[in-house]
Chain A
Amino acid sequence: MLPYWLGLLVAAIFVHFSATPNDSFWDGHPARMLLVILGAVMGAVSFGVELSSNTLPLLLVQPLSRNRLWWEKMSVFGAALTTASLVMVVRTPWEEGWGWGSGILVDQWSAVVMLWAVALSIPLWTLVAGTALGGTVLGLAGPFILSVPLVALIEITMERRGIDFIRIARVVHTYLSVALPVYALSCFLAAWWRFCHYQAKGNGGDLLAGFAARSTRGRFVFLRSGRDPFWNLVRKEVLLHRVSFVMAGLMTGVWFLFLAMLAIVEGLRGQITDEVKNGTLIPTLSLDGFGIGLFAGPLVIYAMMIPILVGASAVAEERTLGTHLMNLTLPSLRRGQWGIKCLVAVGVSFVLGLVLPCCASVVSSDVRQALGSIPSRELLQLALILTPIQLLMVLAATWASALCQTTLRSAGLATVMIASLFVWTVISLNIGDFWHQGVVSRAVGEMMLHDGLKAAMILLAVFSVVGAVIAFLVLGYRGFRGLERRRWEHWAGFGAVCIFVLFMSQMAGILLGALHGQGQG
């Protein structure tokens, strides 16, 4: 648990210093979300690793009571959560003053409550799912599924009484501060009972694998093994991402629940027009108030996690299952297998991580407005920016996956790599700016005015993305093909990608400088 504990502390310190009254937890402040995710992973790791490596039965046969084993595990886990929570809230009172009037305290408190709610429920979900990854996904979804109807219910009752938004938000905070700990405590007690009555059922414990099996045997016949090796590999790759599909399913469930609640709110407010009642118009779902923040939080977590999770599952999930070797010895080209793996990962990530959240955002904002604005230039530009970013994220995660033995570990490595690459890109652009006397900043500022500069920038961005994609594909293949993984080779590869990014940013500086000069001339 130690690396996750350290990660949790770093995230807590970051949240502590970066929080401002305007950054609500529910608006999806990335560091707070990262904190909750790390808490979830830590909780899942404490049991998930024991389950996946089959050491839990070994632990349980030791001459110690299960009760004692449970509390010893939980005391380490609790210490990690306590230190992270203290770091987040300890300075706030004397800087901002006590009481709910302090915006930071309320939001820090929300983050702490969410952290504990997610973390304490994770052992139960991990024991239920049978894997650390499944436990993490179910555990992260739980508090949000609980919060949505609760918030909607509060909004319905208080709006009818004409109470203002700020008071509603505070009431929601207070109710969630009670409901989430109750949920966490219930899950914790259930996990304790389950641990004390744990039955070692062998390999039958993977809930999500069982779910996938039922799906393939039931309605989704197209996922059954057929005669064509290509389609069999594609089917297998799709099913390897079962955790991502479950996550997307939960997200869609929350989304529909949210829409249903909003429809009820609007109905009760008496805002349903005659046109809607007659069925000639789709009901407008205008998200005002606290609800939009509540939906934004999970959406940000989801959109960030899907490309990483999909990429991380691509190779490491096979290693976790132990089927990697079997596939490598099949009479099929490894390069071909790798190609199919990457294509499926990119496709799944695109559908689940981009198309689905876009649909959620569009429909949740305003159906009529959204339908009218879908082919707009702004939306297409946004899609053009998000698609290569997601492509890079999923392929970086696939590369990380080729280096790791478990999906959870590869997801962690992918997160670190993507964050490092992002920070390095920012640093590289600043270095370029320094060398070219701020020409990058000036040129970027004028970019919207000069089509030539814009085209040059896009061209460089395309080159950067293509270069990084090729690097990730080549390095990932070297890890995937089963021959000995030399870690230094991969770190050298990562260094090469960083140098490439630096080179491209310098090129951008030179090119923009030249075009800027021409423009002035």
Chain B
Amino acid sequence: MKSTDAVIEIRGLHKSYGATDAVNGLDLMVRPGRCYGFFGRNGAGKTTTIKCLLNLLKPNQGTVRVFGRDPSKQEVEVKSRLAYVPDQVAFYPWMTVNETLRYLESFRRKWNRDIENDLLERFDLDASKLTTALSKGQRTQLALISAVCPEPELLVLDEPTSGLDPIVRREFIETVIGAYQEADPERRTILVSTHLIREFEGLIDEFTIINNGREVVSMEADTARRQFQRVRARFVHAPPDLAFASPRSMRREGREVEMVLHEAAPELLERLRGYPLESFDVESLSLEEIFVSSLR
């Protein structure tokens, strides 16, 4: 793929706050039509990266391109094609839900009123209510509605589901995000930074895990599921020394051994099967398990 086709292209991003390196030489490329997961522990540098992407922070080194453009130089062009939901949502306290939506609509070329009404109904949000009367979760819902209604080409979500109750969270992820992307699967792209990886499991096409500002793993979700496998073996006798398997993690309990393997060759699995076994299971890891296993 040509780099000019990428919706987001970050190369060698370096950002420090005083002596602390928040992001250290990060590369990231998000192609159009993808739902891209951006995972990391607290303080890993996710929000800093997103802020550099939105020209809210100036990188110390490296280049950032959104839709092939420099967000610091062509800010309106870039911002008019994306929508952002921050981790901490706030609105003007004197505005109602409806006034807030009208305020935000006035800056957009396109605004889908049908989606707005549908989402207000789904989330059971009263449009005449003052924003100060909304709970934290309801404010997040309002932010999500305001991000989806302009039908942007890129949706940047930073911890979008924090504060949402499980029903609304499921509704949002499965229905809203899914429907948003399905409406134009070739062009609509999502970059989601979250801890609730399990919730986005079915949507993520590709992901990057970062730690201490550096990329740890970056791959397609399906490839990751193929490559990261959990092997559960129950031996007839005491388990043998399995150091040859070089597992990412291993847990022994009596005659049972559980290992997480990365890129386990078929020969390795055959060798394991060669031992006298009571049971032998191989299964793919979920993205959350890959995340935990990668950062351990």
Q: Quick check: A326 and B132 within 8 Å, CB to CB?
A: no
Nearest chain A residue, comparing its CB with the CB of B104: A330
Q: Quick check: A329 and B84 within 8 Å, CB to CB?
A: yes
Q: Which of A226, A334, A484 contacts B106 (CB 8 A)?
A: A226
- What distance in Å separates the Cβ of A55 from its nearest Cβ neighbour in chain B? 16
Nearest chain A residue, comparing its CB with the CB of B90: A322
Top 6 closest A-B pairs, CB basis?
A: A322-B90, A209-B93, A331-B80, A212-B94, A225-B103, A213-B94
Q: How far is the CA of A177 from the CA of B2 in the complex (A)?
A: 80
Q: Does B133 contact A (CB under 8 A)?
A: yes
What residues on A are CB-neighbors of B102 within 8 Å?
224-227
Q: Quick check: B90 and A332 within 8 Å, CB to CB?
A: no
Q: Which of A216, A217, A329 contacts B54 (CB 8 A)?
A: A329
Q: Does A409 contact B (CB under 8 A)?
A: no
Q: Does A328 contact B (CB under 8 A)?
A: yes
Q: How far is the CA of A226 from the CA of B91 in the complex (A)?
A: 16
Given known contacts A213-B93, A331-B107, what 8 new A-B pairs fall within 8 Å (CB)? A210-B94, A225-B99, A236-B92, A242-B94, A326-B91, A332-B79, A483-B57, A484-B58
Size band of the B side of the interface? 35 or more
Q: Does B25 contact A (CB under 8 A)?
A: no
Q: Does A232 contact B (CB under 8 A)?
A: yes
Q: How far is the CA of A215 from the CA of B17 in the complex (A)?
A: 43
Given contacts A326-B86, A333-B76, contact A209 B94 (CB under 8 A): yes
Interface residue SS majority, chain A: helix
Q: Quick check: A326 and B107 within 8 Å, CB to CB?
A: no
Q: Does B179 contact A (CB under 8 A)?
A: no
- What distance in Å separates the Cβ of A79 from its nearest Cβ neighbour in chain B? 35
Q: Does A340 contact B (CB under 8 A)?
A: no
What residues on B are CB-neighbors of A228 within 8 Å?
106
Q: How far is the CA of A228 from the CA of B103 in the complex (A)?
A: 9
Q: Quick check: B90 and A326 within 8 Å, CB to CB?
A: yes
- Annotate A297-333 by CB proximity to B: 1 below 8 A, 0 otherwise: 0000000000000000000000001110110111111
Q: How far is the CA of A330 from the CA of B107 in the complex (A)?
A: 7
Q: Quick check: A321 and B93 within 8 Å, CB to CB?
A: yes
- A side interface size, CB within 8 A: 36
Most chain B beta-carbon contacts within 10 A, residue among A213, A227, A236, A322: A213
Q: Does A204 contact B (CB under 8 A)?
A: yes
What residues on A are CB-neighbors of B84 within 8 Å?
329
What residues on A are CB-neighbors of B6 within 8 Å?
none
Q: Does B95 contact A (CB under 8 A)?
A: yes
Residues of A163-222 whose CB lies within 8 A of B = 202-204, 206, 209-210, 212-213, 215-217
Q: Quick check: B76 and A323 within 8 Å, CB to CB?
A: no
- What distance in Å separates the Cβ of A336 from its nearest Cβ neighbour in chain B? 9
Q: Does B263 contact A (CB under 8 A)?
A: no
Q: Does B96 contact A (CB under 8 A)?
A: yes
Given contacts A209-B132, A225-B95, A321-B90, contact A232 B106 (CB under 8 A): yes
- What distance in Å separates the Cβ of B245 from its nearest Cβ neighbour in chain A? 47
Q: Does B11 contact A (CB under 8 A)?
A: no
Q: Quick check: A232 and B94 within 8 Å, CB to CB?
A: no
Write the residues of chain A forming the contact surface with B, with a CB cutoff of 8 angstroms: 202-204, 206, 209-210, 212-213, 215-217, 224-229, 232, 236, 239, 242, 321-323, 325-326, 328-334, 482-484
Nearest chain B residue, comparing its CB with the CB of A235: B103
Q: Quick check: A204 and B94 within 8 Å, CB to CB?
A: no
Nearest chain A residue, comparing its CB with the CB of B108: A331
Q: Quick check: B133 and A323 within 8 Å, CB to CB?
A: no
Q: Does B293 contact A (CB under 8 A)?
A: no
What residues on A are CB-neighbors of B75 within 8 Å?
333-334
What residues on B are CB-neighbors of A227 within 8 Å?
102, 105-106
Interface residue SS majority, chain B: loop
Q: Does B55 contact A (CB under 8 A)?
A: yes
Q: Quick check: B92 and A203 within 8 Å, CB to CB?
A: no
What residues on A are CB-neighbors of B92 within 8 Å?
236, 239, 321, 323
What residues on A are CB-neighbors of B197 within 8 Å?
none
Q: How far is the CA of A326 from the CA of B58 in the complex (A)?
A: 18
Q: How far is the CA of A238 from the CA of B191 in the complex (A)?
A: 35
What residues on A are CB-neighbors of B90 within 8 Å?
321-323, 326
Q: Quick check: B91 and A323 within 8 Å, CB to CB?
A: yes
Residues of B112-142 whose CB lies within 8 A of A = 130, 132-135
Q: Quick check: B96 and A210 within 8 Å, CB to CB?
A: no
What residues on A are CB-neighbors of B130 within 8 Å?
210, 213
Q: How far is the CA of A325 from the CA of B130 in the complex (A)?
A: 20
Most chain B beta-carbon contacts within 10 A, residue among A203, A242, A322: A203
What residues on A are CB-neighbors of B279 within 8 Å?
none
Task: List 13 contacting pairs A-B, 8 Å CB cutoff, sorted by A.
Answer: A209-B93, A209-B94, A210-B93, A226-B106, A227-B106, A228-B106, A239-B94, A321-B90, A321-B92, A333-B75, A333-B76, A483-B58, A484-B57
Q: How far is the CA of A212 from the CA of B55 in the complex (A)?
A: 32
Nearest chain B residue, comparing its CB with the CB of A229: B106
- What distance in Å separates the Cβ of A151 from its nearest Cβ neighbour in chain B? 36
- What distance in Å separates the Cβ of A482 from its nearest Cβ neighbour in chain B? 5
Nearest chain B residue, comparing its CB with the CB of A203: B132
What residues on A are CB-neighbors of B105 within 8 Å?
227
Q: Quick check: A332 and B107 within 8 Å, CB to CB?
A: yes
Nearest chain B residue, comparing its CB with the CB of A217: B96
Q: Does B3 contact A (CB under 8 A)?
A: no
Q: How far is the CA of A168 from the CA of B30 in the complex (A)?
A: 80
Q: How far is the CA of A326 from the CA of B132 in the complex (A)?
A: 16
Q: Does B219 contact A (CB under 8 A)?
A: no
Nearest chain B residue, comparing its CB with the CB of A239: B94
What residues on A are CB-neighbors of B135 within 8 Å?
202
Nearest chain A residue, comparing its CB with the CB of B15: A484
Residues of B68-91 whose CB lies within 8 A of A = 75-76, 79-80, 84, 86, 88-91
What residues on B are CB-neighbors of A202 within 8 Å?
135
Q: Quick check: B106 and A225 within 8 Å, CB to CB?
A: yes
Q: How far is the CA of A333 from the CA of B75 in the complex (A)?
A: 7
Q: Quick check: B93 and A206 within 8 Å, CB to CB?
A: yes
Q: Quick check: A236 and B107 within 8 Å, CB to CB?
A: no
Q: How far is the CA of A434 from the CA of B42 in the complex (A)?
A: 60
Residues of B9-67 whose CB lies within 8 A of A = 17, 54-58
Q: Which of A210, A224, A334, A484 contacts B99 (CB 8 A)?
A: A224
Q: Quick check: B91 and A216 within 8 Å, CB to CB?
A: no
Q: How far is the CA of A239 from the CA of B100 in the complex (A)?
A: 14
Q: How far is the CA of A203 from the CA of B93 in the complex (A)?
A: 9
Most chain B beta-carbon contacts within 10 A, residue among A228, A329, A332: A329
What residues on A are CB-neighbors of B57 within 8 Å?
482-484
Q: How far is the CA of A215 from the CA of B95 in the complex (A)?
A: 11
What residues on B are CB-neighbors of A204 within 8 Å?
132-133
Q: How far is the CA of A212 from the CA of B93 in the complex (A)?
A: 9
- What distance in Å separates the Cβ of A207 from its nearest Cβ neighbour in chain B? 11
